[in-house]
Amino acid sequence: MVSEAAESSRAREEAAERGARQQHPWVALALIPLVYGADDAEAEAMAPGIADLMLHLEAPPRASYLVLPDRLTPNARRREHHGLCIVGSAPARLLLRASHQGEGRDDADIAEYLLCDTITSTGTRLPAFPPEFPIKPFPRRTIGLVADPRCPGHHMVVRLHPTPSTCFRRHAALLCYSTATGRWALKPLASAPNHEPWDEHGIFAHDGLLWWADVAYGLLVCDPFDNYPKLRFVPLPADCEMHGLGDRPRPTRLMDPRRLIRPSQGMLRYVEIQGLSYDRAAVDDARINPTVSMWTLVDPEGPHPWSARASFADIWAHDNYVAAGLLQGKVPKLALVDPNNHDVVYFFQDTVLFALDVRARRVLACQECLVDRQVQNLEF
């Protein structure tokens, strides 16, 4: 008699094999859109009644861009605060957040959300949160987008809401907007774990669930379509969690380019550049043999088997790396994982985006990629 655990393991392996066989077209999409004013020559293609948005699509490692007219987001040209960014994606849909940061008002009260249909080139502004809800939305970017399996063609926008006065150590409810009903709803969480103060490094749908990533600790995950969702915590691989920061500021700017969680080939992958200090006062040159490592999440309630590891010394020494014109001795920034091949990881080196086969230590493609140098965030 086959045990339930064995059946579950076999099902996961079969799902991984299916994911490995499926090849989906994809692009590396810059999270900060371009905004055209009425005087820009390119704006004619987005005149009222013609299109609300455009996508400039390029094959990786070239970056693709979402382009919007300033009439759609009047305050989006305040680029110094990154007040306009893509915060969620689903097939043929993008969720944008527009804020008026820097104007002396509460960011949570004035943030607006725009749901974009990339097939019809239309954008729809979501209604404000109902004032009768017994909560106040926090100025946190914990909002994501997921396709609705119950209503084909419809989606749900989901925001994770923390319990008041817990310093983001526990979450109480989901704020959900359904395109099928055109309304916001409040869903109390049936259960939620206590955790260290939570930050946001990506929100994505995977395996029918919605996942919130914090690259210091792990993932929060739930099924947002349950009437009373259960929020679970999935830790990072052993020895990768960062604990005990206390009241000190988290080194977010140092973690962002060195840690990454993304789906690839039907499974979640955690990638980390190891061997570098997260101490703000440390000098990057004071390192010991930096490496890039990847783990695969096989079972959210089980171990994280190690998948691949490569030394940057070996990567830099490869003839292919030198021929690509990349700088030896300079550790690049993580950008994304190829969704069709988890062995291929994309990195930024200054304004160059390059694809690296981690197992073979071989550069596969290299291209100038002029996305915002301060943020350099990409989605696929």
224 and 286 belong to one structural domain: no
What is the token pair recorded at 282?
């440390």
C-alpha–C-alpha distance, residues 378 and 172, integer Å: 30
What is the token pair recorded at 121?
């080139």
170 and 120 belong to one structural domain: no
pLDDT value of residue 371: 64
**In this predicted model, which residue has the larger pLDDT, 159 or 192?**
159
pLDDT tier at 95, thresholds 50, 70, 90: very high
40 and 164 belong to one structural domain: no
Check whether 5 has a pLDDT greater than 50. Answer: no
361 and 279 belong to one structural domain: yes
Question: Pairing state of beta strands 171-178 and 34-36?
Answer: unpaired
Q: Is residue 191 domain-resident?
A: yes
Return the exposure string of 286-300: e unless at least 16 CB atoms fall within 10 Å of the residue's CB, then b: eeeebbbbbbbbbeb
What's the CA angle centered on 32, arms 26 and 36, to 5 degrees?
105
Q: Is residue 147 domain-resident?
A: yes
CB atoms within 10 A of CB 368: 11
**Residue 99 identity (one-letter amino acid):** S
Helices and strands (H and E) in the chain: how many: 5, 25
Average pLDDT rounded to a whole number, residues 148-176 = 83
Check whether 364 has a pLDDT greater than 80. Answer: yes
pLDDT value of residue 145: 95
159 and 181 belong to one structural domain: yes
Average pLDDT rounded to a whole number, residues 216-230 = 92
Q: List Cβ<8 Å contacts ≥24 apart for 100-107.
A: 100/75, 102/78, 106/139, 107/139
Strand partners, 90: 93
Residue 330 three-state SS: coil
Q: Tokens 């959300």 belong to which residue?
A: 113
293 and 364 belong to one structural domain: yes
pLDDT value of residue 137: 58
C-alpha–C-alpha distance, residues 56 and 193, integer Å: 41
C-alpha–C-alpha distance, residues 40 and 321, integer Å: 39
C-alpha–C-alpha distance, residues 37 and 15, integer Å: 46
Question: What does the mean pLDDT of the chain come to?
Answer: 80
Q: Is residue 5 domain-resident?
A: no
CB 91 within 8 A of CB 147: yes
Largest CA distance in the chain: 72
Domains in the chain: how many in total?
Answer: 3
**Residue 329 identity (one-letter amino acid):** G
The tens digit of pLDDT for each residue in 195-208 reads 777 777 889 899 88
In the chain, the percentage of residues whose pLDDT exceeds 70 is 75
Q: Is residue 208 domain-resident?
A: no
* Rg of the chain, C-alpha, whole Å: 21
The tens digit of pLDDT for each residue in 278-328 reads 766 555 544 568 899 999 888 776 666 655 678 899 999 999 998 999 998
Domain interval for residue 272: 251-380
Q: Is residue 133 domain-resident?
A: no
335 and 257 belong to one structural domain: yes
346 and 263 belong to one structural domain: yes
187 and 95 belong to one structural domain: no
Q: Is residue 315 domain-resident?
A: yes
C-alpha–C-alpha distance, residues 60 and 74, integer Å: 31
Q: Is residue 7 domain-resident?
A: no
Q: Select from 210, 235, 260 the last residue of a domain.
A: 235
307 and 375 belong to one structural domain: yes
Cα within 13 Å of Cα(23), Cβ side: 1
CB atoms within 10 A of CB 53: 21
Check whether 378 has a pLDDT greater than 90. Answer: no
189 and 282 belong to one structural domain: no
C-alpha–C-alpha distance, residues 87 and 64, integer Å: 16
84 and 122 belong to one structural domain: yes
Q: Is residue 13 domain-resident?
A: no
The DSSP letter of residue 197 is P
The DSSP letter of residue 236 is P
Least confident of 119-123, 237-241, 352-356: 237-241
pLDDT value of residue 158: 94
Check whether 183 has a pLDDT greater than 70. Answer: yes
The whole-model pTM stands at: 0.83
C-alpha–C-alpha distance, residues 216 and 201, integer Å: 9
CB 257 within 8 A of CB 348: yes
Question: Pairing state of beta strands 378-379 and 183-188?
Answer: unpaired
C-alpha–C-alpha distance, residues 308 and 281, integer Å: 30
